[in-house]
Amino acid sequence: MEKLALYADYDRRETHDIFAPGTPFTEGSGTWGNHGVVQIPGRPGDWVFFVTFGQTVGTHAFDEGVSADGVLTWQSQPSQVFAEKRIKEWIKHDELKHSIYLFLRARKGAHYTYLGKLKYLSHDSERENPVYFNWQILDWQMDEPTRVKTGLEYNDAPEVPGPTDSRPIEGLREIDPPSRREGMGETTRKFRAKKADFSASDARNKALGFNGEKSVICFERGRLADTEAKSLISEIRHVAEIEGDGAGYDILSFDPDGTPLYIEVKTTRGHERSDFYLSANELAFFNAHRAQYAIYRICEFEPATGSGKLFILRGEEIANLSLEPMSFRARR
């Protein structure tokens, strides 16, 4: 029996045999033989997406693509609207609880290449018939030989321009924490920016995290330089480098009044709405030191320059985060 492997090629029968063995398959027709989206039998919330670029349905030509950062721009069927059950389900898709498997081919007639599972990023709230989605392809590892083999051409969109600023970006720039938003969709202009979400891969990237922590230490030295705690700058400690990851925080710094501040740094190359991950140890340490604990969330980080955006969460802002368990320890 075929096994599922990242960037391996499959036809529809082989895909059917992986996810629905023992059920009927008809070449070129039926659910597995023809449909673009297939719900996996016995697994509500789990789907297989078959995507072929350059397709048309009636008078509608699908405008779909993948960015170099692994963001899939995808459209539903032209008849579908926001109120449809499937559309609502996909907008609320939680990749921690359910899986959408992406099989993609750049042209009709080719085999499908398995590109990985999908995470919902956004949808265009101003357009339906069809509904436009942005999905992050998780564990995105596309190298140049694989891209050439699949015939994939990246479809990056220009970033939405911000306020003009001719000054070079150095270090971390503090911003306000983003407001809460879930499944609300975006305007067409923002949707087309296709911002990637690297949260899953960045959480495993030790070098990225270490560089983010180093940038925060520089930020803290500058923050305290004009305060009564400037004499404590030399006492700032990179605890994660000295002790490893077991302390429940990464950096010991200080508030302007000299009170110790325990900083947990979360770094991503993605945008400010990207998820981040807290360990049980970090959460326990926060609960024991609420008034002195802060999460420094770095986003759009450039390791080569140590630059990026930073927002800071403290107290109730941390307590009010939406936390979802990803695994459980079991014992008898």
Q: Which tens digits make up the pLDDT trace of 287-323?
A: 999 999 999 999 999 999 999 999 999 999 999 999 9
Residue among 42, 46, 38, 44 nearest 16 (CA):
38
Look-up of token digits 């045999």: 17
Architecture of domain 199-319: 3-Layer(aba) Sandwich (3.40)
Overall fold of domain 9-157: PUA domain-like (2.30.280)
pTM, whole model, 2 decimals? Answer: 0.81
Close Cβ partners of 253 (under 8 Å, ≥ 6 residues apart): 220, 224, 236, 260, 261, 263
Q: What is the pLDDT of residues 124-149, one digit of tens each?
A: 999 999 999 999 999 899 999 999 99
CA-based R_g, the chain, Å: 23
Residue spans of beta strands (DSSP E) within 142-208: 172-174
pLDDT along the chain (332 residues), means of 10: 92 97 95 97 97 92 93 96 97 96 96 97 95 94 94 72 48 91 70 74 86 97 96 98 94 98 96 92 97 97 95 97 89 92
Can you tell me the distance from the alpha carbon of 39 to that of 42, in angstroms, rounded to the nearest whole number?
9
Q: Where are the domains of the chain?
A: 9-157, 199-319
For residue 133, the model assigns a pLDDT of 97
Q: What is the pLDDT of residues 105-114, one digit of tens each?
A: 999 999 999 9
Can you tell me the distance from the alpha carbon of 86 to that of 251, in angstroms, rounded to the nearest whole number?
45
Close Cβ partners of 89 (under 8 Å, ≥ 6 residues apart): 45
Both tokens of 133, joined, read 């989605």
263 within 8 A of 294, measured Cβ to Cβ = yes
What's at 243, amino acid-wise?
E
For residue 31, the model assigns a pLDDT of 96
Can you tell me the distance from the alpha carbon of 195 to that of 218, in angstroms, rounded to the nearest whole number?
27
For residue 179, the model assigns a pLDDT of 83
Cis check: omega of the bond before 130, within 30 degrees of 0: yes
For residue 167, the model assigns a pLDDT of 41
Can you tell me the distance from the alpha carbon of 249 to that of 288, in angstroms, rounded to the nearest whole number?
12
